[in-house]
A = this chain, B = another copy of it.
Amino acid sequence: MGSSYEFSRNGNKDVSLQELRDRLAEFAQVRGWDQYHSPRNLLLALVGEVGELSEIFQWKGEVARGLPDWSSDDKEHLEEEISDVLLYLIQLADVCGLDLGQAALSKIVKNARKYPVTNQTPAAASTN
């Protein structure tokens, strides 16, 4: 089952969290930046990027799925800021010694147990 917003993924390769982690670790190391990558430094950098992401959405009112009214510049800006959040999140998990991909899979399983699918019709479920 998929989302209906997959127009941009056609033919793209499947990027793994481990690949991104390895690239980021090398990126930081060859620049001598890893010395600054303490957990709380990275966490605050993450918060900073979440702020930049929020600024894109701040004066827009409700935004439709798929961003039909956005310019390509706005979409590119959004891609950059969402990516920045992801990249700091991956680095934060890395310096904390966590396997982010495994943690995410485990959390989905945990959520599935916490919120079992009922036999409700979608209409009934939506009133929860």
Taking Cβ atoms with an 8 Å cutoff, the residues of A that contact B are 1-3, 5-9, 12-27, 29-33, 35-41, 43-55, 57-67, 75, 78-80, 82-87, 89, 92-108, 110-112, 115, 117, 120, 122-123, 125-126
Could you tell me if B98 and A8 are in contact, using CB atoms closer than 8 angstroms? yes
Contact A15 B104 (CB under 8 A): yes
Known: A3-B21, A16-B101, A87-B104. 14 other contacts (CB 8 A): A1-B22, A2-B25, A5-B95, A5-B97, A15-B101, A40-B57, A40-B61, A50-B50, A65-B97, A67-B97, A78-B98, A79-B107, A83-B106, A86-B104
Q: Given contacts A62-B62, A104-B87, are A1 and B15 in contact (CB under 8 A)?
A: no
The copy count of this chain in the complex is: 4
Q: B82 near A100 (CB under 8 angstroms)?
A: yes
The A contact surface, by secondary structure, is: helix
